[in-house]
Amino acid sequence: MSQDLKFLEEERYLERVNAEIRSQLAGIGPRYVGNDFTEQTLDELRQERKRRLETAAKEPYFGRLDFREKGAAANVPLYIGKAGVGEEAGRHPLVVDWRAPVSSLFYSFAGGDPNVSYESPDGTVEGTIALKRNLLIRQGQLQRVIDSYTEGQEDTGAVTDEFLLHRLGESKDNKLRDIVSTIQSEQDAIIRTEKNRALFIQGVAGSGKTTVALHRLAYLLYRYQDKVRADRMMILAPNRMFLGYISGVLPELGVGDIRQTTFADWAMELLGGGVALKPGTDTLERWFERPVTDREKDEAPGRRKGSLSFLNRLEEALDRWEEELIPDLPFSPEPGLRLEAAHIRGWFREEPADEPVLKRRERLLNRLKRWMEIQIGRVRWSDKTVKSKATAQWKAYAAKLPAPSAVQWYAAAFPSQFALPKGGGKRKPAEVDPEDLAVLALVQLRLFGTEEKPYDHIVIDEAQDYSPLQLAVLRRVQRRASMTVLGDLQQGIHDYAGIRRWSELTELFAPEETAYYELDRSYRSTMEIIEFANRILKGMDGGVKPAVPVFRSGDPVETEAIGDGNLADAAARTLRAWRERTELGTIAVLCRTAQTCRELHAGLRERGIESALLSADQQAYEGGLTIVPVYLAKGLEFDAVLLADADDSAYGPRDAKLLYVGCTRALHRLKLLYRSSPTRLIEN
């Protein structure tokens, strides 16, 4: 079929779908404003459907797959979109949801043998692919039709992917986007992994980890509709700025209501009042604003207190404390009435073991009280003196069963690790270090439990910065392990607190509970940038795999020696040139320290260039021109990146990961400035 005919054919189908969407939208009447609860609920559902149809009206689908089921005579065209659209009259799907089982064929098929199969709820479905087509629709108008496979035509092998390259070449604003139209097969496999797994993803910079994890949530909600709920899912990201950056993706995928937070915020809430966190800026200054040795990192409190062996010590101490909770004393509410310690211990053991200790303590004390009332008898119990004397004895006994707060318990059990913070008391909350938060959270869960419902699924982004203890705590707020844990050891710049090998985390789970994937194709940056960044890590040990670029070529990476010249002058020259190029919508200037950032920000302002200066306590990234310390840029991306101080004095041999993070933030352009000797990390 000629290209024109194809286009006409697709335009006709699009018109049919558009007409159907318009008619369905017209059928949804005005909002219900009455008081009837059932009507209100129905109205909510209608509004939800309306939102879906309105989204679909702009871009109802992006792909077409012609599939012939085994034994069937004809090909069935399947149009794949962000949300399914059905014909109101008749049950024929006009558009199939991207998460439907059959849609997996669209993503997993990359040429080769067209005899394929997919798993449906009713079993394996086999068949043959006859056509794979990408369709670009904007504002309801068909723009492009690109076939990547047609049955009977020679398979060139290079099925991929004009469409993908087009998308990757676009410039970015201040928000991460969905990728439903171009999910790659290795990403699709992760998105569709079954629910009850702790799924670990090691992926190189720009391989789509964050994006894929968010799509996986949308998939799980679709696939396990009756089993998982959005309000029992949680996304943990490194900071609030990053949360803002990713906040657009789920709504684009039609998913709402998922809690997005940081580990610290989550833990603080669990601990209730009474605890305040020392500012995170202290930690960052400690590790990034002055020189640090390997030894200091190895022996950092975060590594020690987050380790598996500390977790074990903690659990043992809690077990022991629980064992010794019941004192070696009888309970005797009045002379002649006595319950021996062994008996009371027996009762304590009868309380359900999965209940938090202090709840069991409470129930035991209530049981003792009931026992006392029965033993004394109703008649004597109504005598005020008898009652108050016995109750006083009961209270005295209860006071011998300690009921500490998490902070008090920790300080008493591990005085060498944690001192009862000053100011901790009734009026002012106790200030604690970030590395003590996970410990306190674990103690809190063991002592008091939580009011929160167990989480159906938890996503942990930048998980290389997590300690085993943090993950163990999160495992405890789930019934079964269902997590997506993603990160990149090569970007482990916070290794004074995080892990160095994935096994540190995976060994918390039974092998059959875990799955592990690696992503080594990078979609963010041009080949030139990826090859440059890979060279930085060459010297690093630990068997790191270099990122594999998608074949997208751009400008060469530039380096410029500024000698004794003024840094702000040099930066301003480059930025002025870049800002003339409209395709560079977001530009970042990255410096090694916050101090340099501040100076450069002021210098650029003097030269008439306004920029946003990002700092550790920042809530939002707005796009445009941004100056940011390199260690805070992790997870973000920019059309162009200027590394302003790529000097040997700024990036020493230990800073390879940091420099790697900086370089891999760039999509299209990367330039490094240095005075006279560039960092040896980029020497070749």
Ligand X SMILES: Nc1ncnc2c1ncn2[C@@H]1O[C@H](COP(=O)(O)OP(=O)(O)OP(=O)(O)O)[C@@H](O)[C@H]1O
Q: How far is CA 662 from CA 468, 544, 614, in A?
A: 27, 18, 15
Residue with smaller CB distance to ligand X, 407 or 519: 519
Strand pairing partners for 119? 124
Of residues 486, 549, 545, the one with CA closest to residue 523: 549
First and final CA of the chain: distance in angstroms? 51
* Closer by beta carbon to ligand X, 43 or else 178: 178
Dist. CA 378–CA 341, nearest whole Å: 25
Options 637, 639, 645, 647; binder of ligand X; rule CB under 6 A? 637
Residue 208: CB minimum distance to ligand X, A: 3
Q: Residue 662, interface with ligand X (CB under 6 A)? A: no
Q: From the CB of 210, what's the least distance to ligand X, in Å?
A: 4
106 vs 81, 149, 210, 295, CA distance in Å? 11, 11, 22, 50
Q: Find the shortest distance in angstroms from Cβ 248 to ligand X.
A: 11
Asked whether the beta carbons of 307 and 468 are under 8 A apart, the reply is yes
Scanning 324-466, the segments in alpha helix (DSSP H) are 341-350, 357-376, 378-381, 384-399, 406-413, 434-447
Q: What is the DSSP letter of 538?
A: T
- Among 83, 85, 205, 600, which residue sits at the site for ligand X (rule: CB under 6 A)? 205
Between 482 and 491, CB nearer to ligand X: 491
- 413, two tokens: 């059990």
- The response to whether 208 counts as a known ligand-binding position is yes
The single residue among 131, 168, 243, 481 that binds ligand X, judged by CB under 6 A, is: 168
Q: With respect to ligand X, which residue has the nearer C-beta, 444 or 491?
A: 491
Instruction: Closer to ligand X by CB, 394 or 523: give it.
Output: 523
Q: How far apart are CA 594 and CA 630, in angstroms?
A: 9
Size of the site for ligand X (CB under 6 A): 24
Contact with ligand X (CB under 6 A): which of 49, 68, 167, 369? 167
Give 205 or 493: the residue with its C-beta nearer to ligand X. Answer: 205
CA-based radius of gyration for the chain: 30
Indicate the angle between helix axes 594-606 and 280-288, nearest 10 degrees: 90
Q: Is 681 in the site for ligand X (CB under 6 A)?
A: no
Question: Is residue 519 a contact partner of residue 487, using CB atoms and an 8 Å limit?
Answer: no
Query: Least Å distance between CB 249 and ligand X?
Result: 9
What binding mask, one character per residue, do residues 111-150 give for ligand X by CB under 6 A, x or -? ----------------------------------------
- The residues, any chain, with a CB within 8 Å of residue 10's CB and separated by 6 or more, are 64, 135, 142, 145
Minimal distance, residue 97 CB to ligand X, in Å: 18
Region 463-492 residues binding ligand X, contact defined as CB under 6 A? 488, 491
Decide whether 164 or 474 has the Cβ nearer to ligand X: 164
Applying CB under 6 A, does 164 fall inside the site for ligand X? yes
Q: Locate tokens 């006859």: which residue?
A: 130
207 in a known ligand binding site: yes
Which range binds ligand X by CB under 6 A, 161-169, 265-273, 286-294, 376-384?
Answer: 161-169
Shortest distance (Å) from residue 207 CB to ligand X: 4
| 165 or 308: CB nearest ligand X | 165
CB of 182 to ligand X, least distance (A): 4
Asked whether residue 424 is marked as a ligand-binding residue, the answer is no
Alpha helices in 272-356 (DSSP H): 280-288, 294-298, 301-306, 308-323, 341-350
Q: How far is the CB of 187 from ligand X (least distance, A)?
A: 6
Which residues are 431's β-sheet partners? 276
Contacts of 27 (CB under 8 A, 6+ apart): 88
Question: Which residue stretch of 115-123, 204-212, 308-316, 355-363 sits at the interface with ligand X (rule: CB under 6 A)?
Answer: 204-212
| 203 labelled ligand-binding | yes
Q: Which residue is nearest to ligand X (CB)?
A: 208
**DSSP assigned state of 508:** T
Q: Which residue has the tokens 């119990």?
A: 381
For residues 179 and 300, which CB has a smaller minimum distance to ligand X in the complex?
179
Q: Of 81, 203, 421, 424, which lies in the binding site for ligand X, with binding defined by CB under 6 A?
A: 203
Rounded to whole angstroms, what are the CA distances from 474 to 218, 231, 360, 415?
21, 16, 23, 25
Q: Which two tokens stand for residue 372?
A: 């006392």
Contact 343, 471 (CB under 8 A): no
- Residue 412 counted as an annotated binding residue: no
DSSP 680: G
Strand-pairing partners, residue 83, are none
Beta-bridge mates of residue 334: 337
Closest approach, Cβ 318 to ligand X, in A, equals 36
Site for ligand X in 177-196 (CB under 6 A): 177, 179, 182-184, 187
Residue 432 assigned ligand-binding role: no
Residue closer to ligand X by CB (options 186, 647) is 186
Q: In this structure, is the dihedral angle defined by the CA atoms of residues 237, 241, 242 and 248, taken in order, positive or negative?
A: positive
Scanning residues 501 to 560, which ones bind ligand X (CB under 6 A)? Answer: 523-524
Nearer to ligand X by Cβ, of 215 and 675: the residue is 215
**Closer residue to ligand X (CB): 213 or 616:** 213
Say how far apart CA 458 and CA 474 lie, in whole Å. Answer: 8
CA distance 576 to 580: 7
206-265 positions binding ligand X, by CB under 6 A: 206-211
Neighbours of 335 (CB within 10 A): 6
Tell me the window of 50-58, 199-207, 385-393, 421-429 that interacts with ligand X (CB under 6 A): 199-207
- Minimum CB–partner distance for residue 260 and ligand X (Å): 15
Residue closer to ligand X, measured from CB, 360 or 494: 494
Shortest distance, position 228 Cβ to ligand X, whole Å: 22
Residue 182 is labelled as binding a ligand: no
Q: Is residue 82 marked as binding?
A: no
Q: How far apart are CA 116 and CA 102, in angstroms?
A: 11
Shortest reach from residue 42's CB to ligand X, in Å: 37
Structure tokens at 408: 């008090």
In the annotated binding site, the residues are 203-210
Please give the residue ranges that form the binding site for ligand X (CB under 6 A): 164, 167-168, 177, 179, 182-184, 187, 203, 205-211, 488, 491, 523-524, 635, 637, 664
In the annotated binding site for ATP, the residues are 203-210
